[in-house]
Amino acid sequence: MAGDTIRRDRDGDVLTLTVDRPDALNALNTDVLEELLDAVESADARVLVITGAGDDAFIAGADIAYMQDLSTPEAQAYAELGHRVTNAIEEYPGAVVAAVNGYAFGGGCEVALAADLRVASNNAVLGQTEIDLGIVPGWGGTQRLSRIVGDAVARRMVFFGERVDAEDAQRLGLVGEVVAQGELDDYVAEMSQELAEKPAFALRSAKEALNQVHEMPQSAGLAFERRLWSGMFGTHDQREGMEAFVEKRDPEFE
């Protein structure tokens, strides 16, 4: 899909997708959402980074001006599109890092929640602020938030529409790290490069297994893990990783 609101920057095995609509603080209208969906679905990099253009916002949310007059069927289609985007991020067959470089409200927070890892700049503010617009989170926030920060914190954030600064977000486990605004790109680039050098099949499998935690009962999850784990034996990376350890050298993964 041709479009100009998602920038793609490739650096080796790392692809950075930048939501580039700074005039609206990178708010996601349907065009941007569709473009983001296409960018995620067509990506083939080992690591995906998602961030926002400019110094102020990661993504300030779903587009409020667009949403204000939606009918229920139109809202349903918008929610489905938002779910397709966040599910595509969650199921991406490689690591996804959200570089949260400013406001991440509503749908912006939900995009970040779908990523595997979240790194925030010290000016970032996150929140599921929908309550103050008379609605609730609709792109996965009612489900993913509590799985990440726990039920009590999620209820407080959603009920009050709380806006959480970067430091508090880290304390709550909403983001993994906080770095100075000017250092975010370098920090994320280094982290992504390290992830890209991990054995790709093992990393993808680890993600797949961790994603099952909320999809099935533990006994089924353990069976899933056993199958996945034993299926790795005989792969190049398993042979190489263990041989390299025994031979006291660095492994060379595929």
- Minimal distance, residue 39 CB to ligand COA, in Å: 20
> Please, which residue, 52 or 106, has the CB nearer to ligand COA?
106
Query: To which residue do tokens 């969650």 refer?
Result: 90
Q: Reduce the DSSP state of residue 35 to 3 states and report it.
A: helix
> Please, which residue, 141 or 199, has the CB nearer to ligand COA?
141
> Please, which residue, 17 or 126, has the CB nearer to ligand COA?
126
DSSP lists the bridge partners of residue 48 as 15, 96
- Minimal distance, residue 50 CB to ligand COA, in Å: 17
- Minimal distance, residue 105 CB to ligand COA, in Å: 4
Binding stretches for ligand COA (CB under 6 A): 24-25, 27, 60-65, 103, 105-107, 129-130, 133
Establish whether 130 is a catalytic residue: yes
| Lookup: tokens for 4 | 């100009």
- Minimal distance, residue 138 CB to ligand COA, in Å: 8
> Please, which residue, 106 or 140, has the CB nearer to ligand COA?
106
Is the separation of the CB atoms in 186 and 41 below 8 Å? no
The catalytic position among 90, 91, 130, 177 is 130
Name, in order, each residue with C-beta under 8 angstroms of 73's C-beta and a sequence gap of 6 or more: none
Name, in order, each residue with C-beta under 8 angstroms of 96's C-beta and a sequence gap of 6 or more: 47, 48, 49, 50, 89, 90, 114, 115, 116, 117
The catalytic position among 110, 194, 252, 254 is 110
Report the amino acid identity of residue 75: A
Task: Just list the catalytic residues.
Answer: 110, 130
